[in-house]
Amino acid sequence: MSRRSEGKEEPLEGDSKIPELDYSLVEMGDRLGDGGVGMTYEGWYGDERVAIKMLFDPRMDLNLKREFMDEVMVLSGLSHPNIVKFLGAVTQPPNLCFAMELCDTSLFTMLHMERQKLSPLRAVEMGLEIAEALEYLHEQSPQVLHRDLKSHNVLLTESGRPKLCDFGLSRNPLASVGTPSYMAPELLRNGTFGAKVDVYAFAVLLWEMLSAQVPFGGLEIVEIKREVLEGQRPDLNQLDMCPNPLIDLIEDSWVEEQQKRPSMEYIARELSAGLTEWGLDAETGLRATMDIKGVEGGDALDALLFK
């Protein structure tokens, strides 16, 4: 376990409602992974086991510190059963960090490392929970976009409940940041964008959950961008066990024109109805046997495992 020394810099400005942690009670254990600006550890806050995300380097410039604090401010204002629970933050440099609930694993790890395949029924059940979390984000005032929805950023509790994490891009105004496999065409073109980028990413994620394959697996970033901008999408023929209304919903959600994509409210409503109307198969079929060569590195929580 390790802890960095206390700093004497002025704390960063933020929302006074953010719960301030006592850094003397923060203990870091095993390193779980890296993200864009910080490292994530399994750890403790007092007697509570938590996940701790800490800024890479206290000497980073103010802009990167602000980006880190943006995630703190977004996550601290959210409360939903399918969004990872924020516990508090240390805003005194050089020990910038925040604590959140520690989950069991990630959707990426389950699908592509443990190679577990979801049944169509279970995939839609989980998809509905994720859709409801995104609907909640889009209903906030001001509206919150996730901007980096992907299987790496969906954590799973011990009971299998999905929870969104990593809101580091939510306030980023640049269209060019994100994970290309899940990025809508308007982002890849550096165009104007809104909540429909999350709808597009959700469609790709739902395809991934149903197929147990990595979207555009094995392709280089430049190849993925070219494919998407040329109108290519993940292969719907991989979803041969799925009912047509579900396939239609995915196809409608990743269309080129963002204004033609449905809202997350509509998607959640359709998935909810589909659980009883689509006759979804509860059998998982074969376990996933995909090649994960070329998979892009993920969020700091990719390997988040409960010890």
CATH level 2 (architecture), domain 105-280: Orthogonal Bundle (1.10)
**94 vs 48, higher pLDDT:** 48
Q: Which helix (H) or strand (E) holds 201?
A: helix 196-211
Q: Which helix (H) or strand (E) holds 225?
A: helix 221-229
Cα angle, residue 286 at apex, residues 281 and 291 outer, rounded to 5°:
125
pTM: 0.85
The span from the CA of 160 to the CA of 157, in Å, is 5
pLDDT in tens, 8-49: 455 555 555 789 999 999 999 998 877 666 788 999 999 999
Q: Which residues are catalytic?
A: 148
Point out which residues pair with 49 in neighbouring strands: 44
> Is 206 a residue whose pLDDT tops 60?
yes
* CATH 3.30.1280.10 applies to domain 23-101: no
Confidence (pLDDT) at 169: 80
Residue ranges per structural domain of the chain: 23-101, 105-280
Average pLDDT over all residues of the chain: 85
Confidence (pLDDT) at 6: 45
